[in-house]
Amino acid sequence: MIGIFPALGISVMIRWKPQVSIPSDLQSLRLAHAALRREWEAVKREYYARKAGFDPNQPRVPAGSSEGGQWTDAGGDNTTPSTFTDARNSRGTPGMRDASSESGESVRSEAYRDLPIILAAGRKPSQAYCWNQLHIDSLLCNSLSPGRLQWACRSQAMERYSACISGKPLPPLPF
């Protein structure tokens, strides 16, 4: 978790630890875990698309070299591979952004474009997926100030969650 959200690491750990319940049935726990892992991958794609204009179709360096698996330039030039972190830093620090700025508009456009990823194959997002989405939105909201903005963000995050479980997902929050 810290590796994924280095800027938000502490609050993530504290928020998640006491709130996860462990079902008594080990098998159901395993099934739930597997489902969440799959959905978490989709959530991460959305997160990076929203935060950094990350392109999930960006090619990787082929296996067999020390840099195998890392992201590379879209044009196929393997001389300057970048990692998740590099891609994020080169396009702006995660967290708050000016929604009215040109970069903000660009990131938002990418997020809209990535909406089909969330709705992979036209399926309705699961409860677990929507719940994870609400968590990520809440992390974003917690990073905002002043409190008035945070409150507005939370309200919109709840609307987004409601839309998600209703089968009518909304694009990422405009913060």
Partner 1 sequence: MIIGTRSLTLRDDDGDKEIQIRLHAPEKAPVDWVCRFEIDWPEGRAERWGAGMDGIDAVLAALKLIGAEINASDYKKSGRLVWLAPGRGFGFPVPNNIRDLLEGDDARYL
- Binding span for partner 1 by CB under 8 A among 34-42, 61-69, 104-112, 160-168: 160-168
Going by the DSSP 8-state scheme, the letter that residue 70 receives in this structure is S
- Cβ-Cβ contacts under 8 Å for 70 (sequence gap 6 or more): 60, 61, 81, 82, 83
Tokens for 52, please give them.
């950094």
Select 115 or 165, whichever has its Cβ closest to partner 1: 165
Q: Is residue 36 part of the contact set for partner 1 (CB under 8 A)?
A: no
Q: Is residue 163 part of the contact set for partner 1 (CB under 8 A)?
A: yes
- Residue 24, SS3 per DSSP: coil
- Looking at 3, 64, 76, 147, which residue binds partner 1 (CB under 8 A)? 147
Contact 117, 46 (CB under 8 A): yes
- Binding span for partner 1 by CB under 8 A among 15-23, 49-57, 71-79, 95-103: 15-23
User: Angle, nearest 10°, between helix axes 9-16 and 127-142?
Assistant: 130
Q: Tokens 């970069």 identify what position?
A: 103
Q: Is residue 96 part of the contact set for partner 1 (CB under 8 A)?
A: no
Residues that bind partner 1 (CB under 8 A): 11, 14-15, 19, 21, 23, 28, 127, 131, 138, 142, 147, 150-151, 154-155, 158-159, 161-163, 165-167, 170
